[in-house]
Amino acid sequence: MASRSFLVIGLVLSLAVSGCGGTLAGGKDAGGAAAAAVAPSLVRVEYTLRYDKGEEPRGAGLTHGGGGEIRGMMVGSVLMEERPLELEGFLVSPTQVVTTDPMIHPRFLEGVAVRQGDEVVKAKVASYPKGQNAVIVELEHPLKGGKPLAFHPKAKPPYLAVTYEDTGGTWTINVQGYAPGLAMDEKGRRFCPAPLQSLITDEDGAAVALAMNARFDSEDNPAGSPLAWPAYTADEMARVMADLEARCNQGLVRVTLHFRSPKKEAGGRFRGRVDEESATENHVVGILLDGGRVLVLANLKPKVTARLEKVVVHPFTGDPVEAKFAASLLDYGCFLATLEKPMAGAIAFSPMPVLDAWSRALPAAETRLQGENRVAYYDHRRIIDYDIGWRRQVYPRGTEQKDESLFLFDPQGALLAAPVAHREKVSAEGRYASREDVKLTPAAYLGTVLADLAKNVDPQNVPLTEAEEQRLAWLGVELQGLNRDLARENKVSAFTRDGETGAIVSYVYPDSPASKAGIEPGWIVLRLRAEGQPKPLEVEVGEDAADRGPFPWDRLDELQEQYFERIPPPWPSAENPFTRALTDLGFGKKVQAECFHDGKAVTKGFVVTASPPHYDSAPRHKAAALGLTVRDLTYEVRRYFQKAENDPGVIVSRIEPGSKASVAGIKPFEMITHVNDKPIASIRDFEKAIPKEGEIRLSVKRMNQGRVVKINMSAPTPAPAEGPARRPAAPPPVEPDEP
């Protein structure tokens, strides 16, 4: 069969079936004869479904629509419609029927039955062909009107392909001419295409072969009875699942990730999504590898990995084992950790090419975590299609649902594919983009990466100390985001999607990367091009302090102290989408900035560099006796207050409600320039200058207005008054600040 050219004869005959009979709707006598001959051998297999633990049933098999298209099974809807899932069936013995493998976990099955006309017989799944997208169901007793197919592998062509499907509410026999041909893929694999889920017959309707895979592999003999197909019996499949469960209990482990609490931005808000970027604990699945390693399936961004403090691996039985972070994979959403002591049960990666696993019955584990609870279900799956993805890698498609918890194993029990996301490049994430969907990633790709870690890890995506956590990259500019009017006024609409991206440089810090590159105020930064990033990084700055309106300096005295922490800073945050993206690109990366100046495009090169300390990362000191926290003046704070580098001062970042500082009337974001008339250049100066007893004089500036605040350090700290709506006590009289 494999040597003949492929030809599809345009002959389609339909036989609308009611019970065991029907009416032939036109066509050649040969087609009608074949349809009539096989009609008593065609049945419907009914799966009665149910919910399990509140979950809707899911199926991953293939079927074909009335228009001939291939589609995945939508099994949940039939339950809501109070009817069974119906699939075509081919009677191959008095009590055995071959039908499409629906790949529905037994927990979702209420029962199986076979229908022919009005006769319904209970059945059960008896075996699972190893290489065909099919199952064989066993009937409790023969059908009265059933006629098992008798296969004649030596029947002569011409051949017909007979399918049986629901078309427009009626089950229909479709007959078309079939001339087997040869197809060969780029790897040299040969096969004969065939209509999906079709019975191949001669002109008289004598059965030759059953095509459940839409093709015959050329090395196999496609002719003959499906009862000769290699298959797992139901008992054998149960043993495979038991072995798989034991293997996964040891090798697929729960991993708990512990994070430092994220830093709050001024105003009391967390940056980023609360569910992901501010979590302090996360439970994920890990794959236990040889050599005391664990591949942790957590797609962490650098900002989140920076807060990672501890990794704990929980075996199925026994005490937890701590692990040390080793490296984040550069292109895959997972990281490697090293166990402090060895654990048994390492999972081996399969050497089988994923393309060779097509349509095979593969052991599969659906493993997911619900908090600390590990939930696992074991069944078989078949790869029914493939997707081409990143760098032409081939990804198996084994279900119509997202494969976020599915692990596929080869017949020998080695891991074939795991649920791993491809890690997006920084430039591809976009402002509103969510993480890329998890894909069934062949274990062979992961194995290649793990074998050459030096070339495949991200040195920027690592845990950091608390002091390093707030580090940021910078270009050394202050930017004003564009809008449609500004883009048109500056003649950059065509470069910025009519003002959706791009920003105007309003200030360039001396000795910064931008200054060294020759970028000047008034230039428009359009986008960045970085090595290793196929997509340009669009310049977006996010919300600016000016967008919130002027800071209410003149009304600070009206603000109740319990709301102090909700006040956002008056200056733009050093962290915005632009600086975050630069940071995630990584220090040392070479970047080309596309700018617009004097009516023409200009490109400037620079290297991603760490910024000087900014407000959120500035050194701070908590003066417990006063009840306030101060920070060093940083570049963006000095810029806002128009302070020179040698001007004295520290910035008040926090006031404790009811403290001496609060009662004295000191407010957040005011500047303390002198203590007892001595200039204060840093928090170290401030710490040394505060006495434990006696009266101190603090020179305080609110923008350009100065005053002197006197505080008695020997006096007891005022007790906080009850009631959330309490106004602070009136501050004591203050003296004008000395010039």
* CA-based R_g, the chain, Å: 35
Q: Are residues 421 and 479 in the same domain?
A: no
CA 222/CA 182 separation, integer angstroms? 13
pLDDT of 595 > 90? The answer is yes
Residue 19's CB is within 10 A of a number of other CB atoms, namely 11
Of 213, 229, 245, the residue that ends a domain is 229
Q: Are residues 591 and 624 in the same domain?
A: no
| Residues with Cβ within 8 Å of residue 435, at least 6 apart in sequence | 299, 333, 421, 424
The two most distant CA atoms of the chain are separated, in Å, by: 114
Our measurement of the distance from residue 147's CA atom to the centroid of its chain's CA atoms, rounded to an integer in Å, reads 51
Tell me how many domains the chain contains: 4
- The domain that holds 275 is classified in CATH as 2.40.10.120
Confidence of residue 655 (pLDDT cuts 50, 70, 90): very high
Residue 34 lies in a domain: yes
pLDDT attached to residue 420: 94
Residue 562 lies in a domain: no
Q: Over the stretch 23-32, which tens digit does the pLDDT of each residue have?
A: 333 344 667 8
Residue 585 lies in a domain: yes
Residue whose pair of structure tokens reads 């495009």 in the numeric block: 601
Q: Are residues 368 and 398 in the same domain?
A: yes
Most confident of 211-220, 295-304, 385-394, 567-576: 295-304
Q: Are residues 168 and 236 in the same domain?
A: no
Q: Are residues 520 and 444 in the same domain?
A: no
Token representation of residue 44: 């419907």
Token representation of residue 560: 């109740």
- The domain that holds 495 is classified in CATH as 2.30.42.10
Q: Are residues 603 and 668 in the same domain?
A: no
DSSP state of 718: P
Token representation of residue 700: 């305080």
Q: Are residues 504 and 589 in the same domain?
A: yes
Of 204, 229, 254, the residue that ends a domain is 229
Least confident of 72-76, 279-283, 324-328, 424-428: 72-76
DSSP state of 561: G
Least confident of 84-88, 191-195, 225-229, 689-693: 191-195
Mean pLDDT of 179-202: 84
- The domain that holds 199 is classified in CATH as 2.40.10.10
Burial class (CB in 10 A: 0-12, 13-18, 19+), 341: exposed
pLDDT of 224 > 90? The answer is no
Q: Over the stretch 543-582, which tens digit does the pLDDT of each residue have?
A: 655 566 788 898 888 888 888 888 889 998 899 889 988 9
CA 209/CA 216 separation, integer angstroms? 10
Least confident of 62-71, 101-110, 216-225, 486-495: 62-71
Residue whose pair of structure tokens reads 């166990």 in the numeric block: 339
Q: Are residues 495 and 593 in the same domain?
A: yes
Positive or negative, the CA dihedral 411, 413, 416, 421 is positive
Q: Are residues 183 and 254 in the same domain?
A: no
Residue 568 lies in a domain: no
Residue 549 lies in a domain: no
pLDDT attached to residue 181: 80
Q: Are residues 104 and 160 in the same domain?
A: yes
Q: Which domain holds residue 165?
A: 13-229
Residue 7 lies in a domain: no
Residue 305 lies in a domain: yes
Of 413, 443, 465, the residue that ends a domain is 465
Residue 556 lies in a domain: no
Q: Are residues 189 and 261 in the same domain?
A: no
Q: Are residues 659 and 519 in the same domain?
A: no
